[in-house]
């Protein structure tokens, strides 16, 4: 089945709207948080909250994608000039009314999945859950237009999932865990950088002042490269805590990261940067796998 032949509100349409490739960014920080907790004290490790953390992260990511799809369509950002992957509402694969109902359902479903986590993490997790939902909406509707998207990625794809997943298991959060969470957020932000780098021209026209439009093309390319390098340097916290392999193994992430950066520089503009986006998502998964194996070793 070709993209053009997708039936409205079909299962394939919803699958494309959920953007499965982005689930890499949702799964990696939770996996790192879980393994950090397991290594920290395997005797207190609990499988049910670990599974719930994964499910909550996946559903919230899909919810964020639906919200982004609907509001960008409503604002006219997703138009014929769009360079990125096709979006469900803009292409007519999913009706706007159906997308609004899907947003309501996934938001409630995510809250229902996350609510039992208070049994292991305490009532303070309600505040975390509310903030996750709130910023899920605020990102697309307001904050991405103010250049705060990259900061939100570090917070909600690094610090929050890694530290909270760890906290649910062991009821504490150490300095090495926090540093690890920031490192994870920096690595995942490479996905945001290449996405906004591709859309820099259309973002300027629509008044979307992302970090990329503020610092310029050349600095944006350097930012992409240095996010990966800096994230790995943060991994020195493992070395100082006698987890040498947790620092050494992720260094191999630099190989695909560098070659992806070179391809980004070579392409520079246009829809061909979508290939760099896919490669970046793959690199994030590679980083997560190397971190997990390194920690377990």
pLDDT score of 61:
93
Is residue 293 within 8 A of residue 249, CB to CB? The reply is yes
Q: Residue 142: how many CA atoms within 13 Å on its side-chain side?
A: 5
If you average pLDDT over residues 138-148, what whole number do you get? 83
Q: Which two tokens stand for residue 69?
A: 């799809």
Please give the average per-residue pLDDT across 237-246, as a whole number: 78
Compute how many other C-beta atoms are within 10 angstroms of the C-beta atom of residue 254: 16
Categorize the per-residue pLDDT at 270 as very low, low, confident or very high, splitting at 50, 70 and 90: confident
Query: For residue 19, is it left (φ>0), alpha (ψ between -120 and 50) or beta?
Result: left
Does residue 1 carry a pLDDT above 50? no
pTM exceeds cut of 0.85: yes
Structure token pair of residue 285 = 């998964």
Q: Please report which confidence band the pLDDT of residue 80 belongs to, taking 50, 70 and 90 as the band edges.
A: low
Q: What confidence category does residue 147 fall into, taking pLDDT thresholds of 50, 70 and 90?
A: confident
* Complete DSSP assignment for the chain: --GGGPPTT-HHHHHHHH-GGGHHHHHHHHHHHHHHHHHH-GGG--HHHHHHHHHHHHHHHHHHHHHHHHHHHHHT-SSTT--SS--HHHHTSS-HHHHHHHHHHHHHHHHHHHGGGHHHH-THHHHHHHHHHHHHHHHHHTGGGGT-HHHHHHIIIIIHHHHHHHHHHHS---HHHHHHHHHHHHHHHHHHHHHHHHTHHHHHHHT---HHHHH-HHHHHHHHHHHHHHHHHHTHHHHTTT-HHHHHGGGGGHHHHHHHHHHHHHH-SSTTHHHHHHHHHHHHHHHHHHHHHHHH-
Q: pLDDT digits over 87-118, tens only?
A: 788 888 888 899 999 999 999 999 999 999 99
Question: What are the structural domain ranges in the chain?
Answer: 12-296
Please tell me which residue, 6 or 168, carries the higher pLDDT value: 168
Reading phi first (left if > 0) and then psi (alpha if -120 to 50, else beta), residue 11 is in: alpha
Q: Determine the pLDDT at residue 243.
A: 80
Residue 28 in this model has a pLDDT that exceeds 50: yes
pLDDT tens, 195-217? Answer: 999 988 888 887 788 999 999 99
**Looking at the chain, how many residues does it have?**
297
Examine the pLDDT at 57 and tell me if it is beyond 70: yes
197 and 217 Cβ atoms separated by less than 8 Å: yes
Cα–Cα distance measured from residue 176 to residue 12, given in angstroms and rounded to the nearest whole number:
42
Mean pLDDT estimate for the chain: 89
The whole-number pLDDT of residue 2 equals 47
pLDDT at 83: 64
Mean local confidence (pLDDT), 68-91:
75
Average pLDDT over residues 22-43: 92
Cα 292 from Cα 34, distance rounded (Å) = 9
Return the pLDDT at 90.
83
In contact, 161 and 30? CB cutoff 8 Å:
yes
Reply yes or no on whether the pLDDT at 4 is more than 60: no
Quick check: 166 and 33 in contact, CB under 8 A?
yes
Query: Quick one: average pLDDT of 42-53?
Result: 94
Contact assessment for residue 63 and residue 110, using Cβ atoms and an 8 Å cutoff: yes
């Amino acid at each position: 089945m070709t993209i053009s032949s997708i039936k409205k509100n079909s299962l394939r349409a919803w699958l494309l709207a959920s953007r499965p490739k982005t689930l890499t960014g949702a799964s990696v920080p939770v996996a790192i948080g879980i393994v950090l907790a397991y290594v920290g004290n395997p005797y207190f490790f609990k499988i049910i909250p670990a599974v719930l953390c994964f499910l909550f992260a996946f559903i919230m990511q899909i919810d964020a994608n639906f919200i982004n799809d609907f509001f960008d369509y409503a604002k006219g950002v997703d138009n014929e000039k769009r360079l990125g992957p096709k979006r469900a509402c803009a292409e007519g694969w999913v009706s706007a009314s159906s997308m609004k109902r899907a947003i309501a359902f996934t938001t409630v479903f995510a809250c229902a999945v996350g609510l039992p986590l208070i049994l292991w993490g305490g009532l303070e997790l309600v505040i975390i859950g509310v903030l996750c939902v709130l910023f899920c909406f605020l990102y697309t509707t307001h904050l991405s237009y103010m250049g705060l998207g990259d900061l939100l990625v570090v917070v909600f794809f690094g610090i929050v999932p890694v530290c909270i997943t760890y906290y649910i298991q062991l009821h504490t959060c150490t300095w090495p865990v926090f540093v690890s969470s920031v490192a994870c957020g920096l690595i995942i932000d490479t996905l945001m950088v290449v996405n906004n780098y591709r859309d820099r021209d259309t973002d300027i026209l629509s008044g979307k002042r992302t970090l990329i439009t503020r610092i310029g093309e050349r600095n944006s390319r350097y930012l992409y490269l240095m996010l990966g390098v800096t994230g790995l340097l943060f991994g020195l916290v493992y070395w100082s805590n006698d987890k040498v392999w947790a620092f050494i193994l992720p260094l191999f992430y630099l190989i695909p990261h560098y070659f992806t950066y070179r391809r980004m520089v070579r392409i520079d503009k246009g829809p061909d940067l979508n290939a760099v986006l896919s490669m970046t998502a793959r690199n994030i998964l590679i980083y997560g796998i190397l971190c997990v194996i390194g920690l377990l070793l």
